Amino acid sequence: MAGGKEVKGKIAPQRFQEIQFQKSKGQHILKNPLLSIVQEAGLKSTDIVLEIGPGTRNLTMKLLEVCKVIAVELDPRMVLEVTRRVQGTPCANKLQVWMLAVIQCYILKTELPYFDVCVANVPYMISSPITFKLLSHPPLVRCAVILFQEEFAQHLVAQPGDSLFCRLSANTQLLARVFHLLKVGKNNLRPPPKVDSSVVRIEPRNPLPPINFICI
């Protein structure tokens, strides 16, 4: 299905052609149209947003109401869905200026283009490597607002002395400020994962602290 219905200047979410999601690829699509993490990113009209795994494009369309989007997607079916969605909509005119780029690739093996902010619902199995890939991206991004598995998110924000504080907590907080924003029940995703999720905001420290990474 292509297109969307314009309501008060915005694109209303619509039902889409049924897709068999693949859990082996970590495909759990955010289905609740009222659950938006876009506002937490503090986006500007001049921003370039990296969206990892646009899925069936609901989040993509909300981002496009504000700024340019570069969507990184592995599954060609999802690439087709997000491309179809912008056809025949008010976003089509904006895309002539913003140029929505859909890069079909594996995110961890790809040299990422320039972007200002990352907004994403990432597959749980790549949560840790994608976090540190973003934190090492030159130039430093302004922030990343990401939907993670709840336990992973709790480790990210845990403070020294907390039972959940670990190497992941220390390494992430050395390089960034991390904030827990929102808990997301598993029924807000399709198909529902076995656990709840959380939205986390990651702000890289700029400049980064002086660190000697040489192993002794």
Q: Are strands 197-204 and 143-149 parallel, antiparallel or unpaired?
A: antiparallel
Q: Who wins on pLDDT, 95 or 104?
A: 104
Q: Could you report the per-residue pLDDT of 137-172, keeping only the tens digit for each?
A: 989 999 999 999 999 999 999 999 999 999 999 999
Lowest mean pLDDT among 29-43, 50-64, 177-191, 202-216: 29-43
Write down the pTM of the prediction: 0.79
pLDDT band at 196 (very low <50, low <70, confident <90, very high): very high
> pLDDT digit string (tens) for 28-59?
566 664 456 788 889 999 999 998 877 667 78
Q: What average pLDDT does the chain have?
A: 78
Residues belonging to the binding site for S-adenosyl-L-methionine are 28, 30, 53, 73, 121
Position 176: which residue type?
A: A
What are the chain's domains? Answer: 46-121 (3.40.50.150), 125-207 (3.40.50.150)
Confidence band of 7 (pLDDT split at 50, 70, 90): very low
- Binding site: residue ranges? 28, 30, 53, 73, 121
